[in-house]
Amino acid sequence: MSIKVGDQIPEENLIVMTERDGPQGFSLREYCKGKKIVLIGLPGAFTPTCHRNHLPGYLDNYDALKSKGVDEIICFSTNDIFVNSAWIQSLGAAEKVIMLSDSKAEFSKALGTDYSDPFGTSIKTQRFSMYLVDSVIRELFIEQESGQALLSGALNMIDSI
């Protein structure tokens, strides 16, 4: 693992889908300046744990996170931005979560969370969550067990900030 608590978030850009201009570059480091952000990294949109547990836990606890002073919840995966946008729309979460794409896994590699999926189809990011204050990592929770979202889940994040 290359990142740790106290580090600044890497500079590699991600992709966001804008309503007006379509896919655009997104500097997470720049966006986080002066804000408190919960960042969720997950292996893939529409995958069982991501779709049923991980992100839905954050949606269900959106108000609790906001009451803790969180400005934004941001989520990313290595899926392309079109898949990620369709997924976030299917969950009805577009008003609560900024969805980003790391389709070339450059951000994941900079974090040290990248891995080859067991099917050999692509590079994924490990399931994790982090709390960022002014682009600095204050809390970091990386799942050790496949198919779980306990350490990186919303309830653990709420208890930790």
16-49 pLDDT per residue, tens: 999 899 999 999 999 999 999 999 999 888 786 7
Digit-by-digit pLDDT tens for the chain (161 residues) are: 589 999 999 999 999 999 899 999 999 999 999 999 999 999 888 786 777 778 899 999 999 999 999 999 999 999 999 999 999 999 999 999 999 999 999 999 999 988 787 776 788 888 899 999 999 999 999 998 777 788 899 999 999 99
pTM for the model: 0.93
Backbone φ and ψ of 6, nearest 5°: 100, -15
Q: 8 has which bridge partners? A: 136
Q: 124: part of which helix (H) or strand (E)?
A: strand 123-125
The residues assigned a catalytic role are 50
Chain mean position to CA 70: 14
Rounded distance, CA 147 to CA 47, Å?
10
pLDDT on residue 1: 54
pLDDT on residue 82: 95
Contact residues for 147 (Cβ-Cβ < 8 A; gap 6+): 48, 49
